[in-house]
Amino acid sequence: MAARGPAGTEESVFVAPDNATQITLAFDDNRLASLLFGQYGQNLALIERRLGVVANSRGNLVTLEGSREGCEQARRVLENLYQRLKSGDELVPGDVEGNIRLAMAQGSLFDFDPAVGRESFEEINLRKRRVRARTPGQDAYIRALKRHALVFATGPAGTGKTWLAVAHAVQLFERKEVDRIVLSRPAVEAGERLGFLPGDMREKVDPYLRPIYDALYDLMDARIVERALQTTEIEIAPLAFMRGRTLSNAAIILDEAQNTTAMQMKMLLTRLGENSRMIVTGDPSQVDLPPGQTSGLADAVRLLENIDGIGHVAFTAADVIRHELVARIVAAYDRAAAQKRERP
């Protein structure tokens, strides 16, 4: 049975008596098909592992074999990603993983329209690139950032907490909704005493803020970033230097907030000025504070849980978008922590 798929694809379906299914997809652009399949077929290999199907490619054709549900989900993933390539988007492994999770969440009980699926997750449009949520957790995060003036994002490494926070701050800055971006992080490893480190203030705190710098340069033109740093429209400051300030018309990001004390967190939250947005991110499972000291992040999330205008998004291992092994590593540590709590 042959059918015309979404724009640029054709498909044929064969259903065997034992409910095994075979679907053949044909893509009208060989170059885009090659990008879709990935270098050495790595994208197809990921789809095979996650959806339990066999994917064989030849030229612009790919044949999917497996259960009816698995083949349908794989078809959705490939057609959705192909439409993104046709619209000019780049494709990275994280996009493939995100689309696999979306297809699995949707199930196979209804027809799938790639055009609708592509827009089902929230996105942030920047001058340099477009940033799209890849998991339901990231989708909820972007929605919370748009809705609330203060957002807490907690969860394991690799879930996009800092990346999406910087993307949202850059969007506000580019739209002139705020005048500046303020980036902060506790320098726990140096005990907040940075004087012994060489260089000026920016050079002293650079090692602690490297992930935020990386996100800035990836989301904005390098010349704009450098100019904004020189004019302090983008300000980098350790948490200890926030005391006594009022931050108005600013997008404020506190990263690695699990390493703040309760008093430091209270100090920062009360810096919020008129027409400002604040995003606080951290991983409660990676606290580097001295033993017995309460994390300011956990304390603030508990105290401010039911206050209007404050959002909280808790990511899980299912939202990890780095290498697929990272999600398994996070899950293994979570299981170990749960077992430790259950012991008498």
Q: Which residue has the tokens 């039911």?
A: 306
The answer to whether residue 129 sits within a structural domain is no
pLDDT in tens, 297-317: 999 999 998 888 899 999 987
Per-residue DSSP letter, 231: T
Residue 112, by phi and psi: left (phi above 0), alpha (psi -120 to 50) or beta?
beta
Q: What is the pTM of this model?
A: 0.69
- The SS3 call for residue 176 is coil
Q: What is residue 299's predicted lDDT score, i.e. its pLDDT?
A: 92
Residues with Cβ within 8 Å of 127's Cβ and at least 6 positions away in sequence, in order, are 174, 220, 221
Let me know whether 224 and 291 are in one domain: yes
Tell me what pLDDT residue 144 has: 93
Residue 255 CA from chain centroid, whole number: 14
Does residue 38 fall inside a structural domain?
yes
Which residues have C-beta within 8 Å of that of residue 342, sequence separation ≥ 6? none
Of 79, 113, 147, the position where a domain reaches its end is 113
Same domain, 143 and 260: yes
Q: Is residue 123 part of a domain?
A: no
Q: Which domain holds residue 76?
A: 2-113
pLDDT lower than 50: segments of the chain: 1-2, 16-17, 108-119, 190-194
For tokens 């060989």, the residue is: 30
* The pLDDT of residue 1: 47
Query: Rounded to the nearest 5°, which phi and psi values hold at 188?
Result: -60, -40
Q: How many CB atoms lie within 10 A of CB 70?
A: 23
Instruction: Establish if 224 belongs to a structural domain.
Output: yes
Q: What are the strands, taking DSSP E only, across 29-154?
A: 54-58, 61-67, 123-125, 130-132, 150-154
Shared domain for 288 and 210, answered yes or no, is: yes
Contact (Cβ atoms closer than 8 angstroms) between residue 101 and residue 61: no
Residue 153 is assigned to a structural domain of this protein = yes
